[in-house]
Chain A
Amino acid sequence: MEFVIISVIGVLFGCGTYLILQRHLLQVVVGLSLYSHAANLALLVSGGLKRGNPPLLTTDAPYVDPLPQALILTAIVISFGMTAFATVLAFRVRQVYGSDAVDELAGGEE
């Protein structure tokens, strides 16, 4: 099972990279979201997949490793905050800068 998910992670990373390299800010934001989904899946894989019940002590052992889940939860919240900020930023760039094309944001090195 791990290898299936690892392949999916690879695909998500590929798609994310492709989107981040696009011209449109919205695509970049979506690309970053794909990145974080993929990273969360990677964390999930690190605890092993389909190797036990949910780590609720009311159910029966064996349980899966609860730590990656806790880490992912933290990561989800953080990336939610980041994505929210990035989205509003992109939208403000569109408003103030008048463009949401990434290559029009070039410059500023001189």
Chain B
Amino acid sequence: MNGVPGFLLISLILLPLLGSLVAWPERWRQRLAPAYSLVPILQLLIVSSFWTTVQAGEGIQCSWPWAPSLGLYLSFSLDGLSWLFTGLISGVGVFVFLYAAFYMADDPTLARLYRFLLLFNAAMMGVVLADNLVLLLVFWELTSVSSFLLIGFRSQRAAACEGASKAFGLTAIGGLVMLFGILAVYAEHGTLELSVLLADSTSISTATGLCFLVAAFTKSAQFPFHIWLPSAMEAPTPVSAYLHAATMVKAGLYLIARLTPLFADDPTWSATVTSVGTITLVWGGVLACKQVDLKALLANSTVSQLGLIVVLLGLQTEIALFAAILHILNHAAFKGALFLTAGTVEHETGTRDIRQLGGLRPLMPVFTVAATLASLSMAGLPPLGGFLSKELFYEGVLEADLLLTILAVAASCLTFLYSFIFFHGTFFAPALHSPQQQPASPHAEQHSTLGLIAPIVVLSGLAVLFGLVPSLAEALVMPAFRVIHGAPAQFHLALWHGLTPALGLSALTIILGGSAFLLRQRFLGAIRERQAAYSFNRLYADSLTGFTRFFQWTRALYMTGSVTDYIRYLLVALIVGLSIPLWHFFEETTLRVDIVRPEYYELGLAGLMAVAGVMCCRTHSRVVLVLSLGLVGSLMSIFFVLFSAPDLALTQVLVEAVSLVLFLLVLHYFSVIGSQPQAPRTRLLNIGMSVGTGLLVSLLLFAANVGPSLPSAIPPYYLSNSYLLAGGQNVVNVILVDFRGFDTMGEITVFSVAVFGVLALVGLGVRGQQPLGTLFMFSFPSPILQSFARLTLHLMLVFAIYLLLRGHNAPGGGFIAGVLTAVALTFQMMAFHTENLLREMPWKPLQIVVVGLLLAAGTGLGSVFIGYPFLTSAIGHYSFPLLGEVELATAMGFDIGVYLVVVGTSLGIIRAIAED
């Protein structure tokens, strides 16, 4: 199934994709760029090789698994419908690519244009060949992306960027809605394969169908999404001809046509498609007549013509469907030719303003004929291709209802009018040489412009041919029609159908349109002058700025940049979020109270702590603030003693000492507190939040203590195994260095990073204006004190070592010993000067930290090397003089690492500040 035809099929996509990756070397880039045109030529050959297959009503499928668990397959299929589109893409592609080589002959960006065009070509081929819905969406969005890049090709121009974004944004809406639809289909039917869905005539809900319709409408510029198409005219003209007339805007039509069999009996689908198409048809026609810019006129005419096809697809009758397909073909031919015409005109004259153009006929006769024929085909005049589809269009609407018929005639008159305006204004009207205009060079047609005219001649030749040889058009259209309708058509195309109502309407159109053209001077100027009070473009722009303003306004409302505000938000969220479940908790739970009665002095200490806390809040003195904090800390250590936590008590005392030194070092640097009091309202708010937070935390802990709880197996395990398995009698220390040694590894990391951070903080950036008081304000340069300090240093150091070594069995351990050492050394720094001490110290603090970290990590990794998990401890018993018997666990090495980190960090931080 994936044989030769399959590879040919995907080569339709791969060829341009690979082509777009080819980058010519800088030197030859300009000259070799047109070689990119080989790609659509090859594609056209491949497409024509499928002729017999599709004429026989057969198709080609190929499929490779992509991500089957997500329903994704790289599945492609070619049937009559996609064949027609591949033909359009490659066929129009050939002309556009060749045209571009001449149109941008001296433009250094030509190669890039080709590469983007090839990317688009690949994407568009993918859209019409993909059988998997997600794959289809992939290519669908890829067309949007490449269209974005092409519209914004002249990226220096603001209008180009805006147009590109508008097109991308609006079509992206469609893409996302389609994604919604695809997800719905997948959730409902478990497959993403179009062929499966179509084969089973799966019933897909109307809502899902509407999702696909929105996508189609955005892509095919249907009302009210049509506004992107005129803005897209900022693209270089070959791009407009290719993407925004012949192919990409037809992707939406393709999608509607493709899904039509699934929604054949769905009145909502049909009504939606028809009415949206009708509005677009008429509205686009009106807008087209107003335009004075050739490309703008063509863009709005494209909108209108796309609307026409959509109407036909919505009617879903045999004739209407046939007409729709036929018009896709016709429109590609004549609109492609007309866009290229606009490009050539601009290239030769330097303007696209229809009011300044004119009189090109004598200068460029061949060009004139070709462009005029294409215009007449658009106007629907016999015997051109456009006439055929217009006739069928009338037959289709006549079958439907009267209102639609009237609107159809009106729209056709408009089409007639702007078609005539287009070619008459450009070629036949008297030339109006305003100063800005650069007149066409008289010998224009002779030399350089052959390449700029030949593609137009061929395309409009096709438009003529489809009319003169209806059987050719029929042969091209019939396979596609068969796919949508399910059976071959029962009639044949012909120029002459006899005297039918449709012919009458055609005649009426010509009469009405012709008279409007003749009388155009009466109203056209007025219409052109008239500025609409409000337009969809304005709506789009206004809503963009409106939303941005709104977003800015809301953001400014809450993103104040003040951390105090952010904290308030957090706390409000916390209080609101937790009070509700807490309320429920206290309502539901039977409280279980198990009280240990406090002693009076304990109550006193608790009261004192609360007072110290409040003092922190009340005081305006920096010293009192810090001392009150110190008081809280000291009370903490008393509580730790009371509650049987000697290690904690020791740690807390020492930490308080070091923190106090730290605070005092920097204290006088801060400004005086309370110099600018807060507003009473803020104060009240703060007090409220403080009370709220305090209450909340209390209630939370209260709930934890009175609510249900599960027994823990952990403390008994620690208590019974601490000595047996880990060789230590101080269970807390054993937990720290062994059971949960990994925590401690992390903890010393945090601690050592503090010193890196502090060194970086003070080492970089500007220094303070005045030097810090260093330690002088605390230094006592008296010899007695110094000798005292020297004495205590050694005592304290010995004691620290003792604490370190006995830590496994009694209060102590690496951290406590480390802080003690740091305190001793800090005392030295105060007694002497920092520099003296530094000279005496063999290592710098940073090095101590590093050694400590490496020792701790290394001890842990040691066990990995001998095949045990990280930090596994080994125990041995040794006896030492003075210390008695000591269990030396490898955990001790770890603890020494901790010790070193703590010493190094404490000293490092204090020194860093003191020296700054």
Contacting pair B732 A69 (CB below 8 A): yes
Contacting pair B694 A11 (CB below 8 A): yes
* Interface window among B48-56, B106-114, B606-614: B606-614
CB 8 Å contact bits of A52-90 with B (1 = contact, 0 = none): 111111100101111101111110111011111101111
User: Which residues on the A side are within 8 Å of B639 (C-beta)?
Assistant: 5, 41, 44
User: Which residues on the A side are within 8 Å of B503 (C-beta)?
Assistant: none
- Asked if B780 is an interface residue, CB under 8 A from chain A, the answer is no
Contacting pair A77 B747 (CB below 8 A): yes
Shortest Cβ distance from A20 into B: residue: B567
Contacting pair A46 B704 (CB below 8 A): yes
User: Which residues on the A side are within 8 Å of B753 (C-beta)?
Assistant: 81
Please measure, in the bound complex, the distance between the C-alpha atom of A82 and the C-alpha atom of B769, giving whole angstroms. 26
Contacting pair A64 B686 (CB below 8 A): no
User: Which residues on the B side are within 8 Å of A95 (C-beta)?
Assistant: 669, 766-769
Contacting pair B732 A70 (CB below 8 A): yes
CB 8 Å contact bits of A92-110 with B (1 = contact, 0 = none): 1011100111110111111
Contacting pair B689 A21 (CB below 8 A): yes
Within 8 A of A (CB), among B728-744: 729-732, 735-736, 739-740, 743-744
Contacting pair A92 B761 (CB below 8 A): yes
Contacting pair B912 A88 (CB below 8 A): yes
Please measure, in the bound complex, the distance between the C-alpha atom of A40 and the C-alpha atom of B815, giving whole angstroms. 17
User: Would you mind naming 23 contact pairs between A and B with Cβ atoms under 8 Å apart?
Assistant: A1-B595, A1-B597, A6-B701, A11-B609, A15-B616, A19-B617, A21-B567, A21-B690, A23-B678, A44-B645, A55-B719, A57-B719, A58-B810, A63-B719, A66-B718, A70-B740, A73-B815, A81-B754, A88-B757, A88-B758, A90-B670, A94-B670, A101-B671
Contacting pair B645 A14 (CB below 8 A): no
Most buried by A among B617, B644, B686: B644
- Asked if B469 is an interface residue, CB under 8 A from chain A, the answer is no
Shortest Cβ distance from B718 into A: residue: A66
**Shortest Cβ gap from A2 to chain B (Å):** 5
Q: Considering the complex of A and B, which 8 residue pairs feature the smallest CB-CB distances, nearest first?
A: A14-B694, A10-B698, A95-B768, A15-B613, A81-B754, A70-B735, A106-B562, A55-B731
Please measure, in the bound complex, the distance between the C-alpha atom of A18 and the C-alpha atom of B809, giving whole angstroms. 42
- Asked if B258 is an interface residue, CB under 8 A from chain A, the answer is no
Shortest Cβ distance from A24 into B: residue: B673
Contacting pair B629 A33 (CB below 8 A): yes
Given A4-B606, A17-B694, A105-B563, A65 and B715 contact (CB-CB distance below 8 Å): yes
Chain A binding surface SS class? helix
**Shortest Cβ gap from A80 to chain B (Å):** 5
- Asked if B811 is an interface residue, CB under 8 A from chain A, the answer is yes
Please measure, in the bound complex, the distance between the C-alpha atom of A42 and the C-alpha atom of B555, giving whole angstroms. 37
Please measure, in the bound complex, the distance between the C-alpha atom of A14 and the C-alpha atom of B618, giving whole angstroms. 13
User: Which residues on the A side are within 8 Å of B266 (C-beta)?
Assistant: none
Given A9-B698, A102-B563, A21 and B610 contact (CB-CB distance below 8 Å): no
Please measure, in the bound complex, the distance between the C-alpha atom of A37 and the C-alpha atom of B613, giving whole angstroms. 11
Q: Which of B731, B757, B766 contacts A96 (CB 8 A)?
A: B766
Contacting pair B606 A78 (CB below 8 A): no
**Shortest Cβ gap from A8 to chain B (Å):** 5
Shortest Cβ distance from B694 into A: residue: A14
Please measure, in the bound complex, the distance between the C-alpha atom of A53 and the C-alpha atom of B305, giving whole angstroms. 92
- Asked if B626 is an interface residue, CB under 8 A from chain A, the answer is yes
Shortest Cβ distance from B733 into A: residue: A70
Q: Which of A3, A19, A54, A92 contacts B646 (CB 8 A)?
A: A54
Please measure, in the bound complex, the distance between the C-alpha atom of A36 and the C-alpha atom of B891, giving whole angstroms. 28
Given A1-B602, A49-B596, A102 and B562 contact (CB-CB distance below 8 Å): yes
Contacting pair A55 B730 (CB below 8 A): yes
Q: Which of A21, A38, A64, A73 contacts B736 (CB 8 A)?
A: A73
* Interface window among B236-244, B286-294, B368-376, B658-666: B658-666
**Shortest Cβ gap from A11 to chain B (Å):** 4
Please measure, in the bound complex, the distance between the C-alpha atom of A17 and the C-alpha atom of B574, giving whole angstroms. 13
Q: Which of A82, A91, A109 contacts B754 (CB 8 A)?
A: A82
User: Which residues on the B side are within 8 Å of A61 (C-beta)?
Assistant: 719
Within 8 A of A (CB), among B533-566: 555, 559-564
Q: Which of B613, B751, B769 contacts A81 (CB 8 A)?
A: B751
* Interface window among B247-255, B450-458, B647-655: B647-655
Contacting pair A14 B670 (CB below 8 A): no
Given A17-B690, A33-B629, A6 and B909 contact (CB-CB distance below 8 Å): no
Please measure, in the bound complex, the distance between the C-alpha atom of A93 and the C-alpha atom of B324, giving whole angstroms. 72
Shortest Cβ distance from B717 into A: residue: A67
How many residues from B make CB contacts under 8 Å with A?
111
Q: Which of B595, B622, B655, B809 contacts A58 (CB 8 A)?
A: B809
Within 8 A of A (CB), among B665-696: 666-667, 669-671, 673-674, 676, 678, 686-687, 689-691, 693-695
Contacting pair B744 A74 (CB below 8 A): yes
A residues bordering B, Cβ < 8 Å? 1-27, 30-31, 33-34, 37-38, 40-42, 44-47, 49-58, 61, 63-67, 69-74, 76-78, 80-85, 87-92, 94-96, 99-103, 105-110
Please measure, in the bound complex, the distance between the C-alpha atom of A87 and the C-alpha atom of B912, giving whole angstroms. 13
Given A8-B609, A11-B694, A40-B636, A57 and B729 contact (CB-CB distance below 8 Å): yes
- Asked if B632 is an interface residue, CB under 8 A from chain A, the answer is yes
**Shortest Cβ gap from A97 to chain B (Å):** 10
Please measure, in the bound complex, the distance between the C-alpha atom of A2 and the C-alpha atom of B622, giving whole angstroms. 33
Please measure, in the bound complex, the distance between the C-alpha atom of A26 and the C-alpha atom of B622, giving whole angstroms. 8
Q: Which of B609, B645, B690, B740 contacts A18 (CB 8 A)?
A: B690
Sample of 7 more A-B contacts, CB < 8 Å, known A17-B686, A27-B616, A85-B757: A12-B694, A15-B690, A23-B676, A54-B645, A80-B655, A84-B662, A85-B754
Within 8 A of A (CB), among B310-341: none
Contacting pair A109 B561 (CB below 8 A): yes
- Asked if B867 is an interface residue, CB under 8 A from chain A, the answer is no
Contacting pair B633 A52 (CB below 8 A): no
Given A7-B606, A45-B701, A109 and B751 contact (CB-CB distance below 8 Å): no
Please measure, in the bound complex, the distance between the C-alpha atom of A89 and the C-alpha atom of B669, giving whole angstroms. 12
Contacting pair A72 B648 (CB below 8 A): yes
- Asked if B697 is an interface residue, CB under 8 A from chain A, the answer is yes
Please measure, in the bound complex, the distance between the C-alpha atom of A21 and the C-alpha atom of B810, giving whole angstroms. 42
User: Which residues on the A side are within 8 Å of B762 (C-beta)?
Assistant: 88, 92
**Shortest Cβ gap from B651 to chain A (Å):** 6
**Shortest Cβ gap from A76 to chain B (Å):** 6
Please measure, in the bound complex, the distance between the C-alpha atom of A109 and the C-alpha atom of B560, giving whole angstroms. 7
Contacting pair B671 A81 (CB below 8 A): no
Given A49-B596, A88-B913, A8 and B702 contact (CB-CB distance below 8 Å): no
**Shortest Cβ gap from A109 to chain B (Å):** 4
User: Which residues on the B side are within 8 Å of A50 (C-beta)?
Assistant: 596, 642-644
User: Which residues on the B side are within 8 Å of A24 (C-beta)?
Assistant: 670-671, 673-674
Shortest Cβ distance from A62 into B: residue: B719
- Asked if B173 is an interface residue, CB under 8 A from chain A, the answer is no
Given A17-B694, A54-B646, A66-B718, A103 and B913 contact (CB-CB distance below 8 Å): no
Contacting pair A77 B715 (CB below 8 A): no
Shortest Cβ distance from A75 into B: residue: B747
Please measure, in the bound complex, the distance between the C-alpha atom of A64 and the C-alpha atom of B648, giving whole angstroms. 13
Please measure, in the bound complex, the distance between the C-alpha atom of A11 and the C-alpha atom of B640, giving whole angstroms. 18
- Asked if B884 is an interface residue, CB under 8 A from chain A, the answer is no
**Shortest Cβ gap from B603 to chain A (Å):** 6
User: Which residues on the B side are within 8 Å of A16 (C-beta)?
Assistant: 613
User: Which residues on the A side are within 8 Å of B698 (C-beta)?
Assistant: 6-7, 9-10, 13
Please measure, in the bound complex, the distance between the C-alpha atom of A26 and the C-alpha atom of B673, giving whole angstroms. 8
Most buried by B among A45, A71, A80: A80
Contacting pair A34 B702 (CB below 8 A): no
Q: Which of B596, B610, B666, B809 contacts A88 (CB 8 A)?
A: B666
Shortest Cβ distance from B673 into A: residue: A24
Contacting pair A69 B648 (CB below 8 A): yes
Please measure, in the bound complex, the distance between the C-alpha atom of A50 and the C-alpha atom of B641, giving whole angstroms. 10
Please measure, in the bound complex, the distance between the C-alpha atom of A67 and the C-alpha atom of B739, giving whole angstroms. 10
User: Which residues on the B side are within 8 Å of A96 (C-beta)?
Assistant: 765-766, 768
**Shortest Cβ gap from A82 to chain B (Å):** 7
- Asked if B568 is an interface residue, CB under 8 A from chain A, the answer is yes
Given A12-B609, A27-B625, A21 and B564 contact (CB-CB distance below 8 Å): yes
Shortest Cβ distance from B697 into A: residue: A13
